[in-house]
Amino acid sequence: MVFEFETLATDGRARAGVFHTPHGEFPTPVFAPVGTVASVKAVPPRSLHEIDVTLVLANTYHLHLRPGDELVRDMGGLHQFMAWDGPMLTDSGGFQVFSLTSINRIDDDGVTFRSHIDGRSLRFTPESATAIQQNLGADIIMCFDECSKPTDRQIVERATKRTHDWAVRCREAHPDDSRQALFGIVQGGIFPDLRQKSAEFLQTLNFPGYAIGGLAVGETKQEMYDTLDMTVPVLPKGKPRYLMGVGEPDDLAHGVMRGIDIFDCVMPTRVARHGAALTPNGRINLRKVIYTRDNSPLQEDCDCYCCRTFTKAYLSHLVRSKELLGHYLLSLHNIRFLVNHMQNMRNAIIAGRLSTYVNAFLKRYGRPA
């Protein structure tokens, strides 16, 4: 199976396309909910299909620790193990290099971790991170990279060099993209010259897709948007572009406008577990007293099971009672909200009216373009 990216329409720098994988195709731009440990929290695969999710993400680091990537391989790979028959992406563990700095040690060869589960020591290298992802069997896999604080140039320069060296080693460990597509990850912090250098270097390795990493990790929103402005034009037009770990509705709009095709984030399910729901007018907290007698749905024009069936009053009761059903319903709605947002932007690109849609959305959501 050959991975292929088709661009069907453009509007400015934004584009509507299709990416073909061994487990089917998915339309772009696309938002992928995160199933860190082979489970999108509280939402079964059947429900994901019902709300038009076409791509999910799982986490290499966490699945290596538990249940183990070799076990997943022996169970038929992630698709069979978690009963998800659509396209799937795994990250490489590179973000954990950043997020778990207190329990890891980085050197030029790789990273030594102390497991947050049982304290045992383990080692990640470009080769082992690639092998773990091969065992997991996702359609799209990622190079092992070093994500760093994006505003400290000295740290970013060192991390970018390591990312390039590790990308070469990942490519050598995975030279054939016929069954799994290995994406390179552009680093460089908020610095234009480093981002351009990184994008240009990675293209010499001829990856079937390119991710932009090291954003939404401490810089301002405007710095993130400016970094996309300087990075996206340097990436090849005929291959998908993936902005890692970004999922706020306003950031999705700004990213699509700048030419990003793929997004992922834990946000919609994480905030749901804390009683928050995404709406066209912004995020609302169902713990507030004003919702205890509110007989309206979360969103009048949303077609998800939550909005078609239940009131804010009932959802507020579930949240206050810490009922698991509340986690499911709010997660379902929040993911559907983002999927619908992406579908609306894709349709707007095809119709040539993306800026009109984005300006109207951001004005209503509370963050003008």
Q: What is the pLDDT of residue 369?
A: 47
| DSSP structural state of residue 43 | -
Which burial class, exposed, middle or buried, applies to 223 when counting CB atoms under 10 A from its CB (0-12, 13-18, 19+)? middle
C-alpha to C-alpha distance for 109 and 120, rounded to whole angstroms: 20
pLDDT mean over 14-20: 98
CB 335 within 8 A of CB 268: yes
Q: Which of 250, 229, 163, 175 is nearest to 205 (CA)?
A: 175
Closest-CA residue to 301 (of 329, 244, 341, 265): 341
Task: Read off the pLDDT of each residue in 98-125 and give the average, rounded to a whole number.
Answer: 87
- What number is the average pLDDT over the span 299-313? 98
When pLDDT is cut at 50, 70 and 90, the band that residue 113 belongs to is confident
Q: How confident is the model at residue 72 (pLDDT cuts 50, 70, 90)?
A: very high
pLDDT at 275 over 90: yes
Residue 40 has pLDDT above 70, yes or no: yes
All structural domains of the chain? 31-265 (3.20.20.105), 267-359 (no CATH)
Residue 98 has pLDDT above 80, yes or no: no
What is d(CA 126, CA 173) in angstroms, rounded to the nearest whole number? 8
Q: What is the pLDDT of residue 1?
A: 56
pLDDT of residue 47: 98
For 122-157, what is each residue's pLDDT tens digit?
Answer: 899 999 999 999 999 999 999 999 999 999 999 999
Task: Give residue-wise pLDDT tens across range 211-257.
Answer: 999 999 999 999 999 999 999 999 999 999 999 999 999 999 999 99
Q: What phi-psi label fits residue 234: left (phi over 0), alpha (psi between -120 and 50 degrees) or beta?
A: alpha
Work out the mean pLDDT of the chain and round it to a whole number: 96
Instruction: For 65-92, give the DSSP string.
Output: HTT-HHHHHHTT-HHHHTT--S-EEE--
Each residue of 332-367: pLDDT tens digit?
A: 999 999 999 999 999 999 999 999 999 999 999 975
Q: Residues of the chain with pLDDT > 90: what percent?
A: 92
Taking only the tens place, the pLDDT of each residue in 170-183 is 999 999 999 999 99
Rounded to 5°, angle at Cα 179 from 212 and 199: 20
Longest pairwise C-alpha distance within the chain: 60
Report cis status (omega within 30 of 0) of the bond before 29: yes
Mean pLDDT value across residues 45-54: 98
Q: Tell me whether the omega of the peptide bond preceding residue 67 falls within 30 degrees of 0, making it cis.
A: yes
Q: Both tokens of residue 262? A: 């793929």
Q: Phi and psi (nearest 5°) for 213?
A: -105, 175
User: Distance between CA 167 and CA 63 in Å, rounded?
Assistant: 22
DSSP string, 176-245: --SSSEEEEEE--TT-HHHHHHHHHHHHTT--S-EEE-S-SSSS-HHHHHHHHHHHGGGS-TTS-EEETT
Sign of torsion over alpha carbons 171, 103, 152, 263: positive
Catalytic residue positions, numbered: 91, 264
**What per-residue confidence (pLDDT) applies to 172?**
98
Banded model confidence at residue 104, pLDDT cuts 50, 70, 90: confident
Strand ordering across the sheet containing 24-28 = 4-11, 14-21, 24-28
